[in-house]
């Protein structure tokens, strides 16, 4: 065995996407059919509200059926997610160098999309989970099992299925909350006891409701929404496409950027959140 000389350059562990992240939730990624979603989208929702019972034998004012609730067409702008990679010109000429940023980007893209949905960092005018429309379900931080129950009832009040969004720590705490918690059904799917899909994504870490302070250590916000849809361009783009264009000869460095365009939406009819304290 050789024990002298420069260290051997070997590949590190392959970046892998978290299996329960937002983009791995079944149905979240939808085929766009076209890249025209870059102009943004006005979401045409289905009628809000829950059905009402009515007596066909009623008379007078009781025979009048209630009018429908008002509804909006929320508008979402698209955004671009990117990941840069810079290295010396010596290393950059090794085989497959630019593919490394593509692999890293694919593993981490969900983080950026979840963060944008939660905070609206790139497009603050987009509806996002923590904006002023958030319905806060409890006046103070609650335990994971109580928080999960709040979120489930917020979804239940819509009369249809919804989706829960939580940080990995909150998800882990919910999973240990006395048997009523996150239930693993498949390798890439986490649902609650009510079969509500749950996105556990690091992109939600640090998100805070509008006009509220950042969560204290051991606390995080969790959210309930209707189904989320994400459209994205079909391929990850590497910019520039040629190593000579990527080279800054004044400092002998090469920079490639991996990027992709997205449109992330939900109908905004359900936007509820609760602050959860996941410490013992």
Closest CA to 265 of 38, 74, 46: 74
Query: What is the pLDDT, as a whole number, of residue 93?
Result: 56
Query: What is the pLDDT, as a whole number, of residue 61?
Result: 73
| Stated pTM of the model | 0.90
Residue 248 contacts residue 89 (beta carbons within 8 Å): no
- The residue ranges of the chain whose pLDDT is under 70 are 1-2, 8, 34, 68-69, 88-96, 176-189, 242, 244-246, 248-250, 252
**Spatial distance between the Cα atoms of 278 and 166, rounded to a whole number of angstroms:** 11
Per-residue pLDDT tens digits for 123-161 = 999 999 999 999 999 999 999 999 999 999 999 999 999
DSSP 202-214: GGGTT---TTSPP
Query: What is the pLDDT, as a whole number, of residue 99?
Result: 84
Closest CA to 48 of 19, 24, 70: 70
Query: What is the pLDDT, as a whole number, of residue 107?
Result: 97
Query: What is the pLDDT, as a whole number, of residue 193?
Result: 83
Residue 224 contacts residue 132 (beta carbons within 8 Å): no
Which sign does the torsion angle of CA 53, 59, 62, 65 carry?
positive
Task: Provide the β-strand partners of residue 225.
Answer: 163, 271
Per-residue pLDDT tens digits for 14-37 = 999 998 999 999 999 998 776 788
Residue 105 tokens, joined:
């980007």
**Spatial distance between the Cα atoms of 96 and 93, rounded to a whole number of angstroms:** 8
């Amino acid at each position: 065995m050789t024990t002298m000389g420069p260290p051997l350059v070997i590949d590190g562990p392959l970046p892998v996407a978290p299996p329960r992240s937002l983009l791995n939730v079944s149905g979240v990624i939808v085929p766009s059919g076209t890249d025209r979603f870059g102009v943004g989208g006005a979401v045409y929702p289905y009628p809000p509200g829950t059905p009402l019972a009515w007596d066909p034998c009623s008379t007078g004012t009781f025979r009048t059926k209630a009018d429908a609730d008002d509804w909006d067409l929320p508008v979402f702008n698209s955004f671009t997610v990117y990941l840069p990679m810079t290295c010396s010109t010596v290393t950059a000429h090794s085989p497959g160098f630019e593919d490394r940023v593509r692999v890293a980007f694919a593993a981490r893209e969900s983080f950026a999309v979840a963060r944008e949905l939660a905070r609206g960092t790139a497009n603050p005018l987009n509806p996002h989970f923590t904006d002023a429309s958030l319905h806060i379900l409890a006046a103070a931080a609650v335990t994971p099992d109580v928080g999960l129950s709040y979120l489930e009832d917020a979804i239940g009040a819509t009369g249809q299925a919804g989706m829960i969004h939580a940080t990995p720590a909150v998800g882990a705490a919910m999973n240990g909350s006395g048997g009523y918690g996150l239930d693993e059904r498949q390798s890439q799917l986490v649902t609650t006891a009510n079969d509500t899909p749950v996105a556990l994504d690091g992109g939600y870490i640090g998100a805070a409701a509008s006009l509220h302070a950042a969560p204290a250590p051991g606390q995080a916000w969790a959210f309930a929404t209707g189904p989320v849809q994400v459209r994205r361009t079909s391929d990850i783009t590497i910019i520039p496409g040629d190593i000579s264009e990527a080279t800054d000869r004044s400092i002998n460095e090469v920079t490639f950027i991996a990027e992709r365009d997205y449109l992330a939406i939900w109908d905004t009819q359900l936007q509820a959140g609760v602050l959860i304290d996941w410490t013992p």
